[in-house]
Every structure is written in structure tokens, then in C-alpha cells.
A and B are shown apart, each in its own frame.
Chain A
């Protein structure tokens, strides 16, 4: 089996989690004051015209080969122990990409050249939240797909997380027909457009969503963990 589904949506179709945005801006559980909210709104309105998020996934048959390796079609990935065990009982695997898009990158470059660090900072963080919100849409879509088949989905895991080497991004993106993801890899295995996220999800009747990220992460300096460690 090989199914590919990609979605080209308008900015207004993506529901940005503004609380996530405020967190990334360093507000923790606080909300910005009027002045900053005005700047955020201004940028938000600009974004409506120059951001086309794009996301999607491929579904692959596969299996967990051993404690560290997973096979998707003929590709053997090495996401490491933590991620492989989180995929336990998966009958199907989804590889996904989500991006705020090239238009966003170009727009952000223009903002950078305006030499206004406040605007650039807020625009930059909003771009990250757009990419993350696009991942949420991938997950919603996969959940619906799994639900119809009486299945569950795991969390999403990306190269770079939990010791999954970034170079594996090459193998992951090669699972898609050329041009489909609208993402390119640099020599150092980074994705362009910059505001992009890639990863995998396990799907199966006995798959469980294990706590991930903020729940188990021990990264003390992480902006999202401020509450836990302060």
C-alpha cells in the first residue's frame, strides 16, 4: 500500500495556537500587553496575504525490525530505541511533512531587512507556530483515517528528536515522489523552506499515544518547560 495525501491551504484555514505563540515569545503563562498585541495583529494581517501552509503525508506498510530500526516499504530507518518503542504494534506508518511555505520564508527575509528586531522576532516565532499548527492538521487527518479503520495513532516524531540522527531526513524525504513535499534538503540535511517539520507516526489497532515532549523531556532550558523548572 502507498497512499499520498497533500493539502495546500490558505492561512485562514490554519488555526494558530496563540498560546503556543506567546509561550515561544517567552510569556510563559502570561499574555502580552496591548502594544505587543497590536504588533502581533498587524503581522497576522500581513501573513494572511503571504503565507500558504502546505502539509501532507504518505502511508506505508512496514514493520519494526529490531529495537532501533523500522522498515517503511524498502527503506530502513534508524530512529533509535525511544521512537521505535513508541511505534510498538504499528501496522502502518505515516511519513509526513508540514511547512509554512516558501512564501513565508521570502516574506520573513523582507522583514529581516527592515531592521526592526521586534517585528522580526514576532514574525519568526509566528512562522514556527504555523509549521507546528500544520503538523497538528496532519495529526488530525491521520487520527480521522485511523478512527475509520478502528485504529489509533502514536505521537509524531522527527529526525533530530530523541537521538534520531538528522541525516536520516534524506531517507525520510526520499519516501515521497520527487517534488511532492515542496521541501528540499540542504547539504547539512536541513529543510528548505526553513519553517518546516518532518516526521513519522505509527498507526495500528494496538498503538498507544505515549507521553512525549514536555511530559518526559528533561531539557531545562526549553522555553516550554519554564513552569516546570522555575
Chain B
């Protein structure tokens, strides 16, 4: 029998190869994929988040855990889909707004969300409102993440929110914003639903917005 604590450990320590091997072994032994995810993998990511908040681990280690988690999820996804269930707990479109190319923070948020079970469509940098609207429509996303690192590009987040309204999509998505110069008060001012200043709290915020906490 596969020791599933080892799967927890592998994800916690970011050991992608081991995580893949253990996930495959567990599946062969007919383990329930949903239970693997809920009782072991997500638990590991929660512990990763806790250690990150306490400065026991740092961004690269966080990403290594996310990478291992994603690899295991990729194996479980087809199985779950075969059973008529989905792995994704929400669909996120994320991007850096027009006029801005800073993407390090945005990428972090994207991979943390992915590691925590969201389906993430990262549309990249320097994106205009039409592209965001198009991506939300195409992927039927329920969360939109906007990133801006320049004070001159922050106001464009409002333009995107206005474009969502015009396209009749505003009620369909929760908008979460972030980036070093962005603040909670700015988020409120432009009519965003949420704001977060770290990749980890972004996950909590998104779950909160979707009512899955």
C-alpha cells in the first residue's frame, strides 16, 4: 500500500518526481482521486502556505511545491473527469494590464492558484481590456486577476472593470487586483471585489470570494 503521508511530504517539499510516482502508485491501488486531493495534496499546500507566511520557506520553495502539486493534479484530472467530476475549483483569467510588463508577481499568484486547484488562464503582459473580456468569454472564467506595478498603469484596471460591465460580464466574474502600488482602498475605489498583496493571501481571497472557504 502506498503511504499517502509520503505524497503529502513530496508536495510539501516540492519533490515533483516523487509526487508523480506516488500519485500513479496510489491510482493503481484504486485510491479515490478526490480523497487524494482533499485529504493529502491540498493539506500539503495549506502547510506550504503556512510555512511561507511564517518565513520558514520562500518563493522558490513555494513554487516547487506548486509545481509538484500541479504535476499530481495533471495525473488525477483525466481520472476525475472520467468519473464525471472536475478537479478545478474555479476558473481564473489573469494578466498584467496594458502599458505594464512586470510579471514576476503575477506569475507567482497564477502558480499558487494553480497549485491550489484552480484552472488558471494566464494571458500575459501589456493586455488591453478587449483581451481580458475575450478571455473571460472564451473560458467562462469566474475570477479575473489584474496585475499592475506602475502607478501609471493602475488606473487601467478600472478601464478593464468598465469594459466588463459594458460586455455584460461583470456579474459573472469576481475581480481581484494586485501589484506593489495597489492597495485595498484603490481596489474599493475602482470597484474591484478583492485585493491581495501576496500570492498566498490571493488564494484565500479568491476562495473567499467564491464562497469555498
> Which residues of A are interface residues toward B (Cβ below 8 A)?
24-28, 30, 32-33, 35-36, 39, 116-118, 120-122, 124-125, 128, 160, 163, 165-166, 186, 188-190, 194, 219, 221-223
Whether the Cβ atoms of B67 and A166 lie closer than 8 Å is no
Whether the Cβ atoms of A124 and B107 lie closer than 8 Å is yes
Q: Is B99 an interface residue (CB 8 A)?
A: yes
Q: A121-B108, A190-B99 are in contact. Are A221 and B180 (CB under 8 A)?
A: yes
Looking at the complex, which one of B60, B67, B111, B152 makes contact with A165 (CB distance below 8 Å)?
Answer: B152
- 19 A-B Cβ contacts within 8 A? A25-B58, A25-B60, A30-B55, A32-B60, A36-B60, A36-B64, A117-B107, A118-B60, A120-B107, A121-B108, A124-B103, A128-B104, A186-B126, A188-B99, A189-B99, A190-B101, A194-B101, A219-B180, A221-B182
Interface of A is mostly: loop
Looking at the complex, which one of B14, B150, B182 makes contact with A166 (CB distance below 8 Å)?
Answer: B150
| A-contact bits for B102-131, CB 8 A (1 contact / 0 none) | 011001100100000000000000100000
Q: Is B86 an interface residue (CB 8 A)?
A: no
Whether the Cβ atoms of A121 and B107 lie closer than 8 Å is yes
> Which residues of B are interface residues toward A (Cβ below 8 A)?
14, 55, 58-61, 63-64, 66-67, 70, 98-101, 103-104, 107-108, 111, 126, 150-152, 180-182, 197
Whether the Cβ atoms of A24 and B104 lie closer than 8 Å is yes
Whether the Cβ atoms of A118 and B63 lie closer than 8 Å is yes
Q: How far is the CB of A176 from chain B (nearest CB, A)?
A: 21
Looking at the complex, which one of B59, B100, B181 makes contact with A121 (CB distance below 8 Å)?
Answer: B59
